[in-house]
């Protein structure tokens, strides 16, 4: 160990004190953004982090410990003062991208949230009667008009199916096809939701085929409901089969049991369902006699994250009385956004709903935009840009195979730059751009990029293809 002035040069002794860091020029911007007490805590945390790293490996001693602490405090201050939730440009072509927030809200929904968010509202107050009201009324009447049946709103579809099973099948059996025991994302599986609701799963049939007799043979004294689940994130092909919904309705009625159907995506219109393979509209299931249906608000419906329960009036009322309904209900911002989205449906203005508008965007319009974007990039010296034929994905979990033909802009980047490095550079821009890679090319899909974001997209590509500076 080297010596200095007769003493050992302990790297821990070189760490700056809290006061020294707070008196340094680097502290001024921190104190402009956060209270002094908070900054002091962050300085202590940064010094502590550096101390632990030096104890673990003294060879990592920085040349300038004060600067190293300041850099760490910079990062901590930014993490506390800047929002971690920020907009991104979705150039992936996945319209209902779960990781990017699924359906973007339409302008009427955005305005509704803005008008409600900053003040008080009549969420649970009957203004005319001057007494407490019910938050159900704001969306319930619109859903009933669209579906022909009463409805409740909870915070997502997993909560909806959980609440229904907890109320109708708690301590009893639920009959469900083995081929429908899906995982709905992020590790959540239908059997787990069944178990959490205190209902017992009764699997019937095989993975690829289940017939009506399988359900009938499983009926017993402990049976509380029949459950039908929309396939999610996968598709079975080949020798497959399951009973028609009308057959299950008849069986459930003959056994005096409710039939529950988890529809997942929440398609509200017949003409939209006609363009999506295997996606039944919600109202069709209700008209067929399904007791209760559950579906999402932020998938094909095109609204905010929510779960909707609709169907038999008596069963809906019963589910609402369940004590867990209060734990799973939605707040005023979700109510405002969902109500505005539903009003667009009622008024026949579905083009106000971005998810539906993006699905229907004409390929010729997208192709013109793609060629203009490629030309703009070429004018900025970015070579290797071309327009290629490709496909967008509907996404959202319940429509994994649904593809929409789309022209794409292929970007090869600067000479020697890999597609992975280019894609990483797009994500490092502000706002970040999410794209996809195929055949060592980055593909930009304008179906999911509003025209208003094209300038930012160009700036992001320029940023990502610019040679990076290396430190001295």
Give the confidence band of 117 by pLDDT, cuts at 50, 70, 90: very high
| 339-350 pLDDT, tens digit each | 999 999 999 999
Instruction: For residues 181 and 188, give the distance between their C-alpha atoms in angstroms, rounded to a whole number.
Output: 11
The pLDDT assigned to 249 comes to 97
Give the confidence band of 11 by pLDDT, cuts at 50, 70, 90: confident
List Cα–Cα distances, 10 to 13, 50, 141, 456, in angstroms.
Answer: 5, 14, 73, 50
What distance, in Å, lies between the first and last C-alpha atoms of the chain? 29
SS3 state at 172: coil
* Structural tokens at position 420: 């992975």
| Among 398, 386, 396, CA closest to 358 | 396
| 144-170 pLDDT, tens digit each | 999 999 999 999 999 999 999 999 999
Full DSSP string of 393-428 = EEESSS-TT-EEEEEEEEE--STT--HHHHHHHHHH
As a whole number, mean pLDDT of residues 228-257 equals 83
**DSSP state, residue 209:** B
As a whole number, mean pLDDT of residues 250-257 equals 98
Instruction: For residues 404 and 390, give the distance between their C-alpha atoms in angstroms, rounded to a whole number.
Output: 9
Give the confidence band of 7 by pLDDT, cuts at 50, 70, 90: very low
| 120-132 pLDDT, tens digit each | 999 999 999 999 9
The pLDDT assigned to 426 comes to 97
Residue 366 has pLDDT above 90, yes or no: yes
| 397-424 pLDDT, tens digit each | 656 568 899 999 999 888 888 999 999 9
* Structural tokens at position 25: 């020029």
How buried is 281 (Cβ within 10 angstroms: 0-12 exposed, 13-18 middle, 19+ buried)? buried
User: What is the per-residue burial (b if ≥16 Cβ within 10 Å, else e) of 290-326?
Assistant: bbbbbbbbbbbbbbbbbbbbbbbeebbeebbebeebe
As a whole number, mean pLDDT of residues 302-329 equals 97
| Among 231, 202, 201, CA closest to 217 | 202
Residue 383 has pLDDT above 80, yes or no: yes
Instruction: For residues 69 and 45, give the distance between their C-alpha atoms in angstroms, rounded to a whole number.
Output: 9
- Helix ranges restricted to H, 1-135: 18-22, 27-33, 36-56, 65-81, 107-117
Residue 470 has pLDDT above 60, yes or no: no
The pLDDT assigned to 472 comes to 35
The pLDDT assigned to 231 comes to 73
Place of tokens 């508008």: 357
| Among 424, 422, 401, CA closest to 413 | 422
Residues 239/188, Cβ–Cβ less than 8 Å: no
As a whole number, mean pLDDT of residues 230-248 equals 75
% pLDDT > 70, the chain? 92
**CA atoms lying within 13 Å on the CB side of residue 366:** 28
Give the confidence band of 239 by pLDDT, cuts at 50, 70, 90: low
Residue 270 has pLDDT above 90, yes or no: no
The pLDDT assigned to 76 comes to 96
Give the confidence band of 3 by pLDDT, cuts at 50, 70, 90: very low
Q: Are strands 151-154 and 307-311 parallel, antiparallel or unpaired?
A: antiparallel
Give the confidence band of 440 by pLDDT, cuts at 50, 70, 90: confident
List Cα–Cα distances, 288 to 161, 291, 292, 295, 301, in angstroms.
Answer: 19, 9, 11, 16, 20
Residues 76/44, Cβ–Cβ less than 8 Å: no
% pLDDT > 90, the chain? 76
Full DSSP string of 304-373 = SS-EEEEE-HHHHHHHHHSTHHHHHB--HHHHHHHHHHHHHHHTT-GGGSHHHHHHH--HHHHHHHHHHH
Measured over the CA atoms of residue 305, residue 262, residue 351 and residue 444, the dihedral's sign is: positive
SS3 state at 43: helix
Mean pLDDT for all residues in the chain:
91
The pLDDT assigned to 235 comes to 63
Instruction: For residues 439 and 82, give the distance between their C-alpha atoms in angstroms, rounded to a whole number.
Output: 36
The pLDDT assigned to 356 comes to 93
Residue 370 has pLDDT above 90, yes or no: yes
The pLDDT assigned to 457 comes to 98
Measured over the CA atoms of residue 68, residue 71, residue 77 and residue 78, the dihedral's sign is: negative
The pLDDT assigned to 322 comes to 97
Residue 188 has pLDDT above 90, yes or no: no
Residues 274/268, Cβ–Cβ less than 8 Å: no
As a whole number, mean pLDDT of residues 38-50 equals 97
Instruction: For residues 358 and 96, give the distance between their C-alpha atoms in angstroms, rounded to a whole number.
Output: 10
The pLDDT assigned to 48 comes to 96
The pLDDT assigned to 85 comes to 92
| Among 364, 325, 343, 31, CA closest to 167 | 325
As a whole number, mean pLDDT of residues 288-295 equals 97
As a whole number, mean pLDDT of residues 362-368 equals 95
């Amino acid at each position: 160990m080297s010596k200095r002035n007769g003493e050992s040069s302990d790297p821990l002794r070189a760490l700056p004190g809290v006061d020294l860091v707070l008196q340094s020029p680097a502290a001024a911007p921190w104190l402009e953004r956060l209270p002094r007490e908070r900054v002091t805590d962050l300085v202590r945390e940064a010094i502590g982090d550096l101390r632990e790293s030096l104890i673990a490996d003294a060879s990592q001693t920085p040349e300038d410990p004060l600067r190293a602490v300041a850099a760490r405090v910079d990062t901590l201050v930014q993490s506390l003062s800047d929002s971690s939730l920020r907009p991104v440009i979705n150039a992936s072509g996945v319209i209902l991208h779960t990781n990017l927030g699924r359906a973007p809200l339409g302008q009427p929904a955005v305005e509704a949230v803005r008008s409600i968010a900053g003040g008080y509202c009549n969420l649970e107050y009957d203004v005319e009667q001057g007494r407490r009201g019910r938050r159900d009324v704001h969306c319930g009447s619109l859903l009933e008009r669209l579906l022909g049946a009463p409805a409740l709103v909870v915070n997502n579809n997993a909560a909806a199916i959980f609440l229904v099973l907890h109320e109708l099948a708690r301590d009893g059996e639920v009959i469900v096809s083995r081929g429908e025991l899906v995982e709905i994302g992020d590790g959540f599986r239908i059997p787990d939701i069944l178990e959490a609701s205190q209902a017992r799963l009764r699997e019937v049939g095989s993975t690829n085929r289940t017939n009506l007799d399988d359900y009938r043979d499983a009926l017993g004294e402990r049976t509380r409901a029949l459950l039908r689940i929309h396939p999610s994130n996968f598709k079975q092909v080949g020798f497959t089969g399951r009973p028609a919904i009308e057959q299950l309705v008849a069986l459930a009625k003959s056994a005096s049991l409710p039939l529950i159907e988890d529809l997942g995506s929440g398609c509200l219109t017949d003409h939209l369902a006609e363009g999506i393979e295997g996606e039944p509209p919600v109202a069709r299931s209700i008209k067929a006699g399904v007791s209760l249906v559950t579906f999402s608000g932020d998938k094909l419906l095109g609204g905010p994250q929510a779960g909707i329960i609709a169907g038999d009036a008596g069963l809906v009322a019963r589910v609402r009385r369940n004590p867990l309904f209060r734990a799973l209900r939605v707040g005023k911002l979700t109510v405002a956004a969902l109500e505005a989205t539903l009003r667009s449906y009622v008024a026949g203005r579905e083009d106000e709903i971005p998810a539906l508008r993006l699905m229907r965007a004409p390929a010729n319009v997208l192709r013109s935009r793609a060629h203009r974007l490629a030309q703009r990039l070429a004018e900025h010296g970015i070579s290797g840009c071309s327009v290629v034929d490709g496909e967008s994905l509907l996404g959202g979990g319940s429509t994994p195979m649904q593809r929409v033909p789309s022209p794409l802009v292929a970007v090869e980047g600067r000479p020697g730059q890999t597609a992975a490095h280019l894609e990483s550079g797009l994500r490092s821009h502000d706002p970040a751009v999410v794209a996809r890679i195929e055949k060592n090319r980055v593909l930009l899909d304008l179906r999911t990029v509003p025209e208003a974001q094209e300038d930012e997209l160009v700036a992001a590509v320029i940023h990502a293809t610019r040679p990076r500076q290396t430190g001295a």
